[in-house]
Amino acid sequence: MLSALVAAVGYGISDFVGGIASRRVAALRVVIVSYPLALVLLTLLAVPFGGQISAPA
What pLDDT, in 10s, does the model give residues 23-56? 999 988 988 988 999 899 888 988 888 777 777 7
Backbone phi and psi for residue 38, each to the nearest 5 degrees, phi listed first: -65, -40
User: Residue 16 sits in which domain range?
Assistant: 1-44
Cβ distance 30 to 18 under 8 Å?
Answer: yes
Residue type, 39: L
Cβ distance 30 to 21 under 8 Å?
Answer: yes
- 12 is a domain residue: yes
- 18 is a domain residue: yes
pLDDT of residue 31: 87
- 54 is a domain residue: no
Q: Is the pLDDT of residue 57 over 70?
A: no
- 34 is a domain residue: yes
Between CA 3 and CA 9 the distance in angstroms is 10
- 30 is a domain residue: yes
Is the pTM higher than 0.75? The answer reads no
How many domains are contained in the chain? Answer: 1
E strand or H helix at 18: helix 2-24
